[in-house]
Every structure is written in structure tokens, then in C-alpha cells.
Amino acid sequence: MASLAILGSTGSIGRSALDVVRLHRERFQIKALAAGHFSDLLCSQIREFSPAAAAVRDIDGARELKKLFPALDVRSGDEGVASLGGFCDITLLAVVGVAGLMPALNAVRSGKRLAIATKEALVAGGQIIMAEAQKNGAEVLPVDSEHSAIFQCLAANGRKSPEEVASLIITASGGPFRGRKLEELEKITPSEALEHPVWKMGKKISIDSATMMNKGLEVIEASRLYSIPGEKIKVLIHPQSLVHSLVEFRDGSQLAQLSLPDMRLAIQYALTFPERWNSPLERLDLAEVGKLEFFPPDPVNFPSLALAYRALSEGGVAPAVLSGANETAVEQFLKGRISFNQIPRFVEKKLDAAPRIPSPTLDDIIMADRFSREPA
């Protein structure tokens, strides 16, 4: 039986992960849960799974939790949440944003498995996370469906030699505004942008999908996870979201992974790899689907993707600045303070002004993240 810490347990990925645990109760033990705030949902998760420890970022929320569950090891603040990284055999990291960086580092420093959904942590500090994982013999398993697909295609090839890989092809649904022009996008409201055509996700990633920054973050995430340069990572719009990504090999062969869009599949694989366990999830019937479509991305009306490629090629702290500036701009958009098209404009201004630090330390990345959040 593997012990499991789910950080971000009340979010979209966290709840799906607990669904996977419910399907395999005899094989997983939830030993730790973490969330941003005290909530009824967190309390009901604690009652259902009886973890030994729980962390809440909000310090007052942690006090309330301790009152309700006196025997629980309750931790608080960013340090409390981070301390649960590496607490169990597997850390499933699903907090949103750069808040995932320290929990991810603690998880890989423990030499255990990190199943990572928090792409912002890999974008900001991916090189440090992967180097620490290698040093400490930790496994980093992707939860993002595209990266899980790539992982599975590489595994199918035996993961022997990286030079056999010609390119990674990351698919994207295109979000709710595929085909729209910049003038139309200017008037988009937060509630329109939160309506994703395929996936039901947290607010931040839903907006990132609408701007296509999500795909940009995924390009950087893939580069960090698989040590592949940006020039070998392509993006392909695929509105049906059934082909989750592809790998092209040097002989021209392309391998793809397909399934119905359900994050529980990628989550389960990250927890059970190298085994595949049964799953009651609905199966893909290609005859019923009939048609799969693919298009190139639209760089003119969705400039965020190009900004992510730029940050990846600049290297240093540029990806951390891109991600932090984007996080800030998305928050401002959700509060109605800036327009949809101002999100990439803010990110671009921050990238233009970012310090050039070729081999950043963790402190440099934290400093760059702070810089990225100051007004442009």
C-alpha cells in the first residue's frame, strides 16, 4: 500500500485524485492533505480519509482545522504546505501557481515520487527540480494529460536514447475562443473565458487555456521534463481533445496516446507507473467519434504561446518571469481590472524588463517571481 499526500486536494485535480483513490482504496492510504483555505470540503475529505497530517496556507484556517480535529497534525502557511512535499511515498502536487515550487523541491529532495500537476512550478524552477530529482533518485511523473501522453509514447519506445526523438507534438483544444480575432477578444468577460469547451478545471488554468498561455506553459514544462529544446516542441490544435499528444521519432514514425478527456486516467497512471491498473472510466470509441481534426495554432490572435517560446529560448529567469507575470495578470483579469488582451501585454512588458541571469539559483528564481508581480 502506497502512502499519498495530495496537495491542493480541494481543487479540480485534487478532487479527481481522491476519486482515483476511492477506486483503489486497498492500495492507497491518504496520509496528508493540503489546501489554500479552511473549507467544508477539506473537512469532509479529512473525515473520509483520516490523514495523519493536513496543511492550510491560511493561518486562521489552520487554527479552525485544529479546533475541529485536535488529533490531526495541522500545519500552516506556505512552509506548512511545503513541509508535506516528500511526507509520503507519493506527493501529488496540485496546488495552483508558483506556490507549488517549494513543495515540489521538498518532494524530490526526499528521493520519493513526485506526481506533478502544478506546471507553474516546473516552468519557474524546472531545471532545479529535475536536477534535485536526479541527485536524490526521485521520480517525477507528469499528471498533465499532454505530458502523460508524451511520457507514455517515450516509454513505448523504451525511453532508450533521447537522440531518437525528432519532436514532441503537444495537442491543444484551442480553448473557448478558437477562430476569434484580437478585436473580439478585447471584450471577453471573465465568465465567458471560464467556460472551457472540453475540460472542467480551476479558474487559473481555464483562463490560461483561453489565452493559449496554458499551451505555452506546457511547452516549457515538456522541455524541462524531457530535456528537449523548444525548437523540437510543436503545438497542434485538436478541438476534440482525444489525442493527448504525440512523439515523432527520427525515422518519421509518430506515436500518440488517445483516450476520452478525463484527468483521472493521467492521475492514476502517475500514481501506478510502471503498472497499469483497471479503471472503470468510459472508453474511447473511435468509430463513434468518426472524425479527428488538427490545425496549426494562431500566433497573431493568441500571442501568449509565442511569449512562452521566447521565454524558453531566453532561458535563465525568463520562464519564471513569464509564469509569475501571467499569474498576476490572470488574477487582475478575473477581478475585472484588466482586459483579456492585456494579459499577454503585461507578460510581454515584464519579459522585456526581466533581468538576464543565465544559470539562476533558487533565490534568483524567487526574486524573479517577485519582480514579475510588481506593476508594469
Ligand X SMILES: NC(=O)c1ccc[n+]([C@@H]2O[C@H](COP(=O)([O-])OP(=O)(O)OC[C@H]3O[C@@H](n4cnc5c(N)ncnc54)[C@H](OP(=O)(O)O)[C@@H]3O)[C@@H](O)[C@H]2O)c1
Over 230-252, what HEC string results?
Answer: HHHEEEEECCCCCEEEEEEECCC
**Nearest approach, Cβ of 296 to ligand X (angstroms)?**
23
Nearer to ligand X, 117 or 353 (CB): 117
Nearer to ligand X, 117 or 130 (CB): 117
Nearest residue relative to ligand X (C-beta): 11
**Nearest approach, Cβ of 184 to ligand X (angstroms)?**
26
Nearer to ligand X, 166 or 258 (CB): 258
Nearer to ligand X, 203 or 349 (CB): 203
Reported in sequence order, the residue ranges of 132-260 that DSSP labels E, i.e. its strands, are 139-142, 165-172, 233-237, 243-249, 254-258
Residue 212 CA neighbour count, 13 Å, CB half: 28
Phi, psi of 35 (to 5 degrees): -150, 175
**Nearest approach, Cβ of 8 to ligand X (angstroms)?**
3
Nearer to ligand X, 56 or 237 (CB): 56
Rounded to a whole number of angstroms, the CA Rg of the chain reads 20
Nearer to ligand X, 103 or 353 (CB): 103
CA–CA dist 246, 233 (Å, integer): 10
DSSP letter at 100 equals G
284: left (phi over 0), alpha (psi -120 to 50) or beta: beta
Nearer to ligand X, 11 or 174 (CB): 11
Amino acid letter, residue 75: R
- Give residues in contact with ligand X (CB under 6 A): 8-14, 34-37, 39, 57, 81, 94-96, 99, 117-120, 144, 199, 201-203, 205, 263
Nearest to 243 by CA among 268, 227, 261: 261
Phi, psi of 181 (to 5 degrees): -100, 160
**Nearest approach, Cβ of 290 to ligand X (angstroms)?**
25
DSSP strand pairing (139-142 vs 90-93): unpaired
**Nearest approach, Cβ of 48 to ligand X (angstroms)?**
15
**Nearest approach, Cβ of 113 to ligand X (angstroms)?**
17
**Nearest approach, Cβ of 151 to ligand X (angstroms)?**
14
